[in-house]
Amino acid sequence: MTPTLSHSIPFFDYPSLFTSDEEEILSIVRDVGRRGAFILQQDLARFEQNLARYLDARHALGVANATDGLHIALRAAGIGRGDEVIFSSHTMVATAAAIHFAGAIPVPVECGPDHLIDAASAGEAITSRTRAILPTQLNGRTADMDALGALAAKHGLVIVEDAAQALGSRYKGRAAGTFGAAAAISFFPAKVLGCLGDGGAVIANNDDIHDRMLQLRDHGRRSDGEIVSWGLNSRLDNLQAAILDSRLARYPAVVERRRTVARLYRKGLEALEEVTLPPGPDGDAYHFDIYQNYEIEAERRDELKAHLGTFGIGTLVQWGGKAVHQWDSLGFTQRLPYTEKLFKRLLLLPLNMSLSDSDIEQICGAIRAFYRK
Ligand SMILES: Cc1ncc(COP(=O)(O)O)c(C=O)c1O
């Protein structure tokens, strides 16, 4: 039987990011506005402290977005002109752009079956010019940081993490963003912790790297006003920080709900041979995943997407359907067969706080109906 849906299910419901806590947001706007507290004020400092505490990190700093954050993190970690930086091609172009704008050379490598950087492929890409590995903690999951840490130690490389999608994700109990010299997190509205516009943070445990990031986000300016290097204007707005701080208090419950949705998807889809699901939330004692995305691999992906669309179910092919090295305009020459094959099969199913259990059942029912046809 073909399922019929009582209502459409958009991939993402942007207005709900405001309407779900509208009164609280308006009262924060009034409070911050009446204090005239817009740039580098106490609400930002409080959020930074709470964020660092949540991650068990020594320092967190609000920045304008994670793309700037990665650029700042790389420069603060000493990466610059001519250095090669290895990253997984299954990431946003922002990861490679940050490497490029830090003056370094982005070197794309394969991802593995969990869609995160493949340590063996990273190892094969190391040359005498390699200075850093930049794993993307993709879809809310942390990479195998033991393997990457061993590789980095063996070759004397720095690790900088792209934790844009992974706030609160853990590997062996340790939070994404705290494994390397520095990391960046994104608060883009659709992120699990999203603000009402662009926003991000950088993380570090080392005091010197933190000091450099503090200067780099504010025109290269030291606390005594001296300009000590070229810097960016990349400060997280105090108003956004105040909103994020109120949301951070509720964040663990949000993560739990997303893990529940992942369980429901698994229950509804695991019998299908045509679909490969992301690792389940209860499958592995090493990983705690926050499910920024629910990225499946699907046979006849484009047909499935169109089929779901006819039921009003929104889905998304991440990054416009191309891995970073497949954008000819950027001049990459690498061939990455595993990643290229994978990119014909990837599909994001809806995963957001507006979804009910019955929505997930309906999505799973529509997918099962497609493969039964
Ligand atoms: C993996 C990854 N890296 C980097 C970014 C860039 O983050 P932002 O939009 O905050 O600059 C994103 C954002 O969506 C992302 O998903």
Structure tokens at 10: 């958009």
Ligand 1 contact, 162 CB (< 6 A): yes
Q: How would you write 240-280 as a 3-class SS string?
A: HHHHHHHHHCCHHHHHHHHHHHHHHHHHHHCCCCCEECCCC
Structure tokens at 2: 């073909």
Distance 135 CA to ligand 1 centre (A): 13
Beta pairing class for 130-134 and 158-162 = parallel
From the CA atom positions of the chain, what is the Rg in Å? Answer: 21
Ligand 1 contact, 139 CB (< 6 A): no
Ligand 1 contact, 67 CB (< 6 A): yes
**pLDDT given at position 6:** 73
| Burial per residue of 263-285, b for 16 or more beta-carbon CB atoms within 10 angstroms, e otherwise | ebbbebbeebebbbbbbbbeeee
Distance 66 CA to ligand 1 centre (A): 6
Q: How confident is the model at residue 272 (pLDDT cuts 50, 70, 90)?
A: very high
Q: How confident is the model at residue 3 (pLDDT cuts 50, 70, 90)?
A: low
Number of the ligand 1 atom closest to the C-alpha atom of 98: 4
**Residues 234, 236, 237: CA angle, nearest 5 degrees:** 120
Number of the ligand 1 atom closest to the C-alpha atom of 292: 16
**Which residue of 92, 162, 217 sits with most ligand 1 atoms within 8 Å of its CB, as the best mutation to test the pocket?**
92
Which tens digit of pLDDT belongs to each residue from 32-69?
A: 999 999 999 999 999 999 999 999 999 999 999 999 99
Average pLDDT of the segment spanning 97-119: 98
| Whether the Cβ atoms of residue 37 and residue 47 lie closer than 8 Å to each other | no
Which tens digit of pLDDT belongs to each residue from 326-367?
A: 999 999 999 999 999 999 999 999 999 999 999 999 999 999
Q: Is the dihedral of CA 203, 279, 304, 345 positive or negative?
A: positive
Fill in the amino acid letter for 47. F
Kindly report the average pLDDT of the chain as a whole number: 97
For tokens 């190391």, the residue is 126
Q: Count Cα atoms within 13 angstroms, Cβ side, for 11.
A: 16
